[in-house]
Structure 1
Amino acid sequence: MMKRHEAREKAMQTLFQLDSTEMSPEEAMTHIVGEERDSFYSELVNGTFENRAAIDESLRTKLENWTLDRLPKVERTVLRMAVYELNYMEGTPAKVVLNEAIELCKTFGDETSGRFVNGVLSKYTKE
């Protein structure tokens, strides 16, 4: 079984790929992790992918002076995944989701993306 942090990293890579190709989630997951599936990872990928329209709609209300399309792909992917985890999954404290999102930004993006993502996500935790 993957550690949660690793599962999020792999899910991020998978969703990043899904954002720019016509692959199915199944194909993308196989491409990133092979046949070895972790249930947390699978739920993050499938759930984020399936609920993308609703998640994007929700994000649009929180993005000031930005459109989703203009966001760098790393930030957009991290935000979608974190919003999915905050709004659709039980059990992970919001603070953990935010910290993980910032870590993913540091790994895949840059310093500014972490701050940006934190700013957007903190609006979800205040609701």
Structure 2
Amino acid sequence: MSARSKARKRALDMLFQADVRGEELRSVVLAESGRASAEPDRMESWLYAREIVDGVEDHREQIDELISSYAQGWSLDRMPNVDRALLRVAAWEILFNDEVPAPVAIDEAVELAKEYSTEDSSRFVNGVLGKIAEHARNV
């Protein structure tokens, strides 16, 4: 697994944990930072995971608005927590990280959905992110 794939998983874990436990994201990131500093071989994935989480937090309103717009029939509150976190991670990459092609961000999110979410989540995540990528191309 590439460092970026590991970083996406770490970012997913942090966003999911903060969401499910109702914790401040800052606290979750601080705890994860401590673990990362104790494991130097994970530093590369930690740095990108932190960039993702900070980016999601900085642009949460815009990201959530787009997710809500394209998740037909699903409010953010009604989505499985894992799907919501995955959509935020990938949407940030699509919208704000020029180094990651949209198809890569979508594929990575779909694979994580297959591994960690419901049977239907991968199709749902793929559909929403495809629409967000189309939106990004048109702005």
- Report the TM-score when normalising by structure 1: 0.88
Amino acid at match of 1:59: I
Number of residue-to-residue matches in the alignment = 126
Match of 1:73 among 76, 81, 85: 81
Match of 1:50 among 52, 55, 58: 58
User: In structure 2, how many angstroms separate the alpha carbons of the residues matched to 1:13 and 1:25?
Assistant: 11
Q: Which runs of 5+ in 2 are unaligned?
A: 38-42
Equivalence for 2:28: 28
Shift of 1:32: 4.0
Shift of 1:29: 2.5
Amino acid at match of 1:85: E
Equivalence for 1:103: 111
Equivalence for 2:123: 115
- Report the TM-score when normalising by structure 2: 0.81
For residues 56-92 of structure 1, the C-alpha deviation after alignment (integer angstroms, 9 at most, x for no partner) is 1121111111111101111111001111111111210
User: In structure 1, how many angstroms separate the alpha carbons of the residues matched to 2:22 and 2:131?
Assistant: 32
Which structure is higher in helix share?
Answer: 2
Q: Which has the larger radius of gyration?
A: 2
Identity across matched positions, percent: 35
Q: Which runs of 5+ in 1 are unaligned?
A: none
| Structural RMSD (CA) | 1.8
